[in-house]
Homo-oligomer: A and B are copies of this chain.
Amino acid sequence: MKILVIHGPNLQLLGVRNPEVYGSVDLDTINQQLRAIAAENQSSIDVHQSNHEGEIVDTIGRSRGEYSGILINPAAYTHTSVAIRDAVEAAQIPTVEVHLSNIYARESFRQHSLIAPVCVGQISGFGPQSYEYGLKALLGHLSA
């Protein structure tokens, strides 16, 4: 199985800058861990990071036929992007939404996800491990 992993806006900064604030795990490390988990499950991942809502929509739009599942951290676009929601819905590929932080313990405008209703499920609050659990949950869902 091939899985598309999408990292939303500002995640390129993860672990690179302000490690005392965001932890020292960077996106490459997360991607390597995801690759390892995929490999253990006879699967592989392709990774895409973008700060552009349109690019994420483009990428999801090209995913069908090529990928069995999508693992997405929509970051700030979680709360504002109907376009990404529509892309996920149109793609008809099982999608899992993950968040590094517990979005329900943050500002009220971050407590609503436009994407979650068209996903299989959502995992939030476990830092870089949210991705790990999300990938395992996605693979589990696909092989169920």
A residues neighboring B (CB under 8 Å):
8-10, 12-13, 17-18, 50-55, 57-58, 61, 64, 75-77, 79-83, 85-87, 90, 92, 102, 104-105, 109-114, 116-126, 129-130, 133, 136-137, 140-141, 144
Contact = CB atoms under 8 A, between A and B. Distances in A.
A55 B55 CA distance: 11
A18 B89 CA distance: 12
A43 B141 CA distance: 26
A122 B113 CA distance: 14
A136 to B, nearest CB: 7
B102 A117 contact: yes
Contact of A12 (B61, B105, B136): B61
